[in-house]
Amino acid sequence: MRTRITDMLGIQYPIVQGGMHFVGLAELASAVSNAGGLGILTALTQPSPAALAEEIARCRGMTDKPFGVNLTFLPARTPPDYPGYVRSIVDGGIKVVETAGNNPQKWMPMLKEAGITVIHKCTSVRHALKAEAIGCDAVSVDGFECGGHPGEDDVPNFILLPRAAETLKIPFIASGGMADGRSLVAAMAMGAEGMNMGTRFIATKEAPVHEKVKQAIVAASELDTRLVMRPLRNTERVLNNAGVERLLAKERELGDRITFDDIVAEVGGVYPKVMRDGDLDAGAWSCGMVAGLIHDIPTVKELIDRIVAEAQQIVRQRLAGMV
């Protein structure tokens, strides 16, 4: 399957694994790359730039295919050592970076000077246009369905992807609600050059997370996610659990008086407890509505091969037969 994204990234199939906290480790990223997609390490899961350098080296020992690094720029009381993380990415020979969060313009000269392809995650057309204007090579367009941060506009992919196609010159991939061959064909029909999957890749054999997390995603339906931190305009889509119910109760009680300090117990330091220890009720952890389409825990290769075969069947048989 050849698209502008496969040519740009040097991959076999237009399938990208999104950056995910305490999920985007070498085990998963290498498996995705080995299966013909683009695996992504999550930089800020690593406690330091030196640790990221070690993870890049570890991943390189597990695949000879291209893989990338996600670097998310977030406001913080004590910001991470972003210059150090960027240096580890450059020194590690990484050629694809997925940026997310705040505008990455400050870091673009350093990344582009190293010959790195930059894909920025966007939840709106206006943000995608800004990414294009500052020199990003591609964007990942995230619809309202996505796990994690869907932005504040609440526009689902059936509208957002065609709008992006109408407006952008650079290629884009679809993110949010992507799970199978149907997702891939639909995304490409609406103008995308491929798709980005997050939640679907958590429910695979190689994903380095607790088995309880994988089983929770398989058991969930499309009705089992919740939106939290909306009053703080930092909306996140998460899988419902006891911790999330506590958080939502605080939001209802405090209304527009709520601050981050009021909910820090439900959102701070949650990911190691969930992903490593299997404490599903520790607090809010990202999950997309796509959980309703996830019914098994295959290997990454089985999943990608199945997606590609299904997409080809849809195009060659079902769609071609309608024309």
Q: Are 56 and 46 in contact (CB under 8 A)?
A: no
Q: Are 276 and 22 in contact (CB under 8 A)?
A: yes
CA 141, 175, 315 angle in degrees (round to 5)?
Answer: 110
Q: 189-216 pLDDT, tens per residue?
A: 999 999 999 999 999 999 999 999 999 9
Identify the helix (H) or strand (E) that includes residue 173: strand 172-175
* Mean pLDDT of all residues in 259-271: 94
Q: 127-178 pLDDT, tens per residue?
A: 999 999 999 999 999 999 999 999 999 999 999 999 999 999 999 999 999 9
Outline where 71-147 has alpha helix (H): 82-91, 108-113, 125-133
Q: 287-320 pLDDT, tens per residue?
A: 999 999 999 999 999 999 999 999 999 999 999 9
How far is it, in rounded angstroms, from Cα 12 to Cα 275?
Answer: 30
Give me the pLDDT at residue 74, please.
86
Residue 75 pLDDT more than 80? Answer: no
* Mean pLDDT of all residues in 72-93: 93
How far is it, in rounded angstroms, from Cα 171 to Cα 181?
Answer: 20
Q: Are 118 and 111 in contact (CB under 8 A)?
A: yes
Q: Are 41 and 68 in contact (CB under 8 A)?
A: yes
Residue 286 Cα to chain centre, angstroms: 10
Query: Could you give the domains of the chain?
Result: 4-208 (3.20.20.70), 221-286 (no CATH)
Query: Would strands 39-42 and 225-228 be described as parallel, antiparallel, or unpaired?
Result: unpaired
How far is it, in rounded angstroms, from Cα 181 to Cα 166?
Answer: 24
Residue 77 pLDDT more than 80? Answer: no
